[in-house]
Chain A
Amino acid sequence: MERANLTIKEASDQLKERKISAVELTRAYLGRINALNEKINAYVTVDEQSALKAAEAADARIAKGEATPMTGIPIAHKDLFCTEGVQTTCGSRMLKGFKPPYDATVTTRLKESGAVILGKTNMDEFAMGSSTETSYYGVTRNPWDLERIPGGSSGGSAAAVAAGLCVAATGTDTGGSIRQPAAVTGITGLKPTYGRVSRYGMIAFASSLDQGGPMCRTAEDTAIMLQSIAGHDAKDSTSLNIETPDFSALLNKGIKGLKIGVPTECFGEGLEDDVRSAIDEAKKVFADAGAELVTISLPYTGVAIPTYYIIAPAEASSNLARYDGVKFGYRCENPNDLQDLYSRSRAEGFGSEVKRRIMLGTYVLSSGYYDAYYRRAQKARRLIANDFTKAFESVDAVLTPTTPGTAFKLGEKKDDPVQMYLSDIYTINVNLAGLPGMSLPCGFDGNNLPIGMQLIGKPLDEAGILRIAHTYQKETDWHSKAPDLSGIA
């Protein structure tokens, strides 16, 4: 197994046909991790023993003919999905060594489907960042160019999938954290409708925006993995109590007659030319497949970033209050008193981006500023959502770039938070509106770096955008390109 770009579908078929066993497959991926992870740093924790045990169980299940499409598939979890008994760091010093006594619902569901968990992937600390550079566990490198960022915050998962260090991975997306890394590493990633996937056991950044989702090689794989994690969960009061469609069954319906909206606001200043022309090419593919491309307007796109940087830090400042050095996680040495315990544990346990956002959030919620910031941001959020509601009256999906440019260099934007925040300019409004959005590869720039495009669906219409993406991937082969890692192994 020397292919980095094996898909869930292919692996699942081979397992079922007994061409390979789950244990063999798992060993092959563990081998690749051993060879490559040191350079890429996609994983924070690799759990060989549990992985092999799960693989054995998967083989037994396959033998009994009780396999699901995920059975025996080696995957990785972003290190903010709680895994019972396995360190879950959230990319932070604060949670170094923290072993949760429970599984996240996403973890449980994937375990139940028979997936093999190889380990936990690196991420921006508490999912705050777009480059995985804020992790306490070192930067993750982009397999396409080791001097570049893999995107973030789910950069470890994206790099792992792109480098063939797992077949697929979970990610989470609060403002673009699945889609942006997927775009800059050339993979396919989907952020479901808010409430489609349970947030239970997923360490919170901004509760009203966070959503977990699959990061895979193809739309077909994304449909398979989404199927196993989606659905109502009584433990998450914001998870939607509605039926989950059969995503795979709806993939092949074609896109004839579908209307795809192209918002003018997303193709203006700041967009790199290579990205623009890649998307122009993609539009032709859609048109050839029978879709109609319609120019639309999302007038409130411009306020998405300021709105997001009020709501997300506000929620984060509260969500992260529990890390106080009292019950679990990092505790400073020899505190003088309670106040000292709090301030030093938090000052030493959190990195600077997390502290920046806690301060921002604390400020916008404080008495006297709440109306000017938080309340206004909530109103703006509604206007952004209304933009989409109106657009979806005339189109079935919306097409935009995922990011303004391709992967930037490590350190390039690290000290310029505003530039960093602008990486999410096309993805953030999707979270604010609670809509499903996905990124899929649509070309390469002059530096042979992957370019991603984003498809945004109506509420709960993951099936719709997956079908468009799958149609595209049947006509193109960008998604099957893999980086050449022979030089580093």
Chain B
Amino acid sequence: MISDNYEYVIGLEIHAQMLTRSKLFCGCSTQFGATANSQTCPVCSGFPGVLPVLNREAVNMTIRTGLAINGQVRLMSEFARKNYFYPDLPNGYQISQFELPIIEHGHVNIELTKGADKKKGGPMKRIGITRIHMEVDAGKNIHEGIVGASWVDLNRTGVPLMEIVSEPDIRTPEEAGEYLKKIRSIVRYLGACDGNMEQGSFRCDANVSIRRTGQAEFGTRAELKNLNSIRNVMRAIEYEGGRQEDLLESGGKVIQETRLWDPTKNESRSMRGKEEAHDYRYFPEPDLPPLIVTEERIEQLRAKMPELPDDKKERFREQYGLNAYDAGLLTGSQRLANYYETVAETVTKAGKSDNKIAANWVAVELLALLNKNSIDIDKSPVSAVNLGNLVALIINNTISGKIAKEVFAIMFETGEAPGKIVKEKGLEQVTDTGAIEAEVDQVLKKHAKEVEAYRDGKTKLLGFFVGQVMKATKGKASPKMVNELLRKKL
């Protein structure tokens, strides 16, 4: 953490593994988890004389991502070789883009949590995106369980990556977290990347420096690596800010270096300094002609863009009358948003609609149980139609909210439809005035003392009577009717 005397200047580099079926420059599969070196060929293994052929789908995905972040697509971009030796890099160079990346000058808007209002949401901040370029992933060196050697698995070698580079516009660890969430949500919406940080298909390096509040020029930055969750990104930035402030305050200097985050120790250590930094000797990749993209291609891709998170959130607020918080939560993923829309639609079909209750059931009840059991929304045991029907039962007073929770728990266990459960267990709300009136009379008779106290002005006792009636009816009586009848009789 840094004190108020300083502020952060943060830029993030995201590596997003693209969800193409084949690698960037050969036909090998990109499937995760196969037997080591089973998804390799002479091209991705760097054999002599073989040549790269660009995957069109990867280009399309990058263009779509570029459009989603309001970027400009270069009609002519260029691949370049980044040269360095490492066993998991069989060519001795990585094919990347350097001087002429395919996407430039983009931005996204993030919502700040500081000063946020549940109804209207937080203040918005624009984060610039310098560029997105395509490049190949490296393989993996395996050291565990081997003495005196290392093994190399080239299955991941050549898998397409998008590197998304932000401007140094980020000022707090929270902003970094929000920015990452926004980008992750966008690439997931586009089906361009699964956004899985733990598995490493969505990786982030952070360039962090601090400067005295009010100072215009940037301080010396450190590059943080090995940040495998959004939480770790934020924690590592906080730690780095504190480390740099301590250095500066004690008369020291921040040196430009690459630091490795240790999530178990909650600290970072120096990996290499500026002197040891590689000289990558970039130059245009002579095996690939310049990449030419036509305006028509861009327009065709633009026409097929899905509704993006920001637009969907706006629509949820308008169409369903949701507050900023709920709309943001429900549009966090496309699948969750789709789920909610099905729930809301089912409720409406059943008669009266109440989008807020529907939102509440998805965002609170369902998500709580799913998270608790680590179940993905796609595999929810409660289907959206069933949840919609449950909400409909509440709205049309067939069951009370309390009973609904019981029914929901059974639905989550069994996957059964709410109507069936309610019928089988006889949980319908009692709305027959005569039946409720009988129970009310019984309760008032039984508790004559309390009735007297109530009539003497202890009106708080109303809740007690309601409770007694509900207990007597096993919760099936309509609370509204019980209240009305009690008031009348007291």
Contact = CB atoms under 8 A, between A and B. Distances in A.
Interface of A: 80-82, 88, 90, 95, 98, 100-102, 104, 199-204, 206-208, 234-238, 314-315, 317-318, 320-324, 326-328, 338, 342, 362, 365-367, 370, 374
Given A207-B287, A365-B83, A98 B48 contact: yes
B90 to A, nearest CB: 6
Nearest to B43: A235
B286 A203 contact: no
A365 B45 contact: no
Nearest to B277: A367
A362 B281 contact: yes
Which 5 pairs show the lowest CB-CB distances between chains A and B? Answer: A321-B92, A207-B286, A365-B281, A208-B286, A203-B48
Contacts of B306: none
Contact of B52 (A208, A237, A315, A362): A237
A327 B46 contact: yes
Interface string B283-294: 100111100000
Given A90-B48, A201-B50, A206-B286, 13 more contacts: A81-B49, A100-B48, A101-B42, A199-B49, A204-B48, A204-B287, A238-B287, A314-B283, A338-B87, A365-B83, A367-B281, A370-B282, A374-B283
B48 A322 contact: yes
A314 B80 CA distance: 13
Q: Could you say which of B46, B48, B81, B281 has the most chain A C-beta atoms within 10 Å of its C-beta?
A: B48
Given A102-B42, A314-B283, A318-B92, A237 B48 contact: no
Nearest to B79: A237
Contacts of A100: 42, 47-49
26 contacts: A82-B48, A82-B49, A95-B48, A102-B42, A102-B47, A199-B51, A200-B50, A200-B51, A202-B49, A206-B286, A237-B54, A237-B288, A238-B51, A318-B81, A318-B93, A321-B83, A321-B91, A322-B48, A322-B91, A324-B87, A326-B87, A327-B90, A362-B281, A365-B83, A366-B279, A374-B283
A208 B288 CA distance: 9
Q: Could you say which of B92, B152, B288 has the most chain A C-beta atoms within 10 Å of its C-beta?
A: B92
Contact of A321 (B54, B85, B289): B85
A342 B279 CA distance: 17
A314 to B, nearest CB: 6
Contacts of B287: 204, 207, 237-238
B271 interface: no
Nearest to A104: B49
Contacts, number: 102
B83 A88 contact: no
Interface of B: 42, 45-54, 81, 83, 85, 87, 90-93, 150, 152, 279, 281-283, 286-289
A144 to B, nearest CB: 32
Given A101-B42, A237-B287, A237-B288, A80 B85 contact: no
Q: Could you say which of A80, A81, A237 has the most chain B C-beta atoms within 10 Å of its C-beta?
A: A237
Q: Could you say which of B45, B52, B85 has the most chain A C-beta atoms within 10 Å of its C-beta?
A: B85
A234 B85 contact: no
Contacts of B288: 237-238
Contacts of A320: 92
B366 to A, nearest CB: 49
A365 B92 CA distance: 15
Given A102-B50, A203-B49, A318-B283, A237 B93 contact: no
Contacts of A342: 85
A152 to B, nearest CB: 19
B283 to A, nearest CB: 6
A235 B51 contact: yes
Contact of A324 (B48, B50, B85, B282): B85
A104 B281 CA distance: 29
Contacts of B54: 237
A237 B289 contact: yes
B45 A327 contact: yes
Q: Could you say which of A199, A201, A326 has the most chain B C-beta atoms within 10 Å of its C-beta?
A: A326
Contacts of A98: 48
A82 B47 CA distance: 10
A199 B51 CA distance: 8
A237 B51 contact: yes
A394 B289 CA distance: 30
Contacts of B283: 314-315, 318, 365, 370, 374
B42 A322 contact: no
A92 to B, nearest CB: 10
A102 B288 CA distance: 21
A101 B45 CA distance: 12
A322 B93 CA distance: 8
A200 B83 CA distance: 21
Contact of B281 (A95, A202, A324, A366): A366
Nearest to B83: A318
Contacts of A322: 46-48, 90-92
A380 to B, nearest CB: 15
A387 to B, nearest CB: 22
Contacts of A323: 48
Given A207-B287, A327-B90, A318 B281 contact: yes
Contacts of B49: 80-82, 100, 104, 199-204
B152 to A, nearest CB: 7
Nearest to A361: B281
A317 B152 CA distance: 23
A201 B48 CA distance: 7
Contacts of B48: 82, 88, 90, 95, 98, 100, 203-204, 322-323
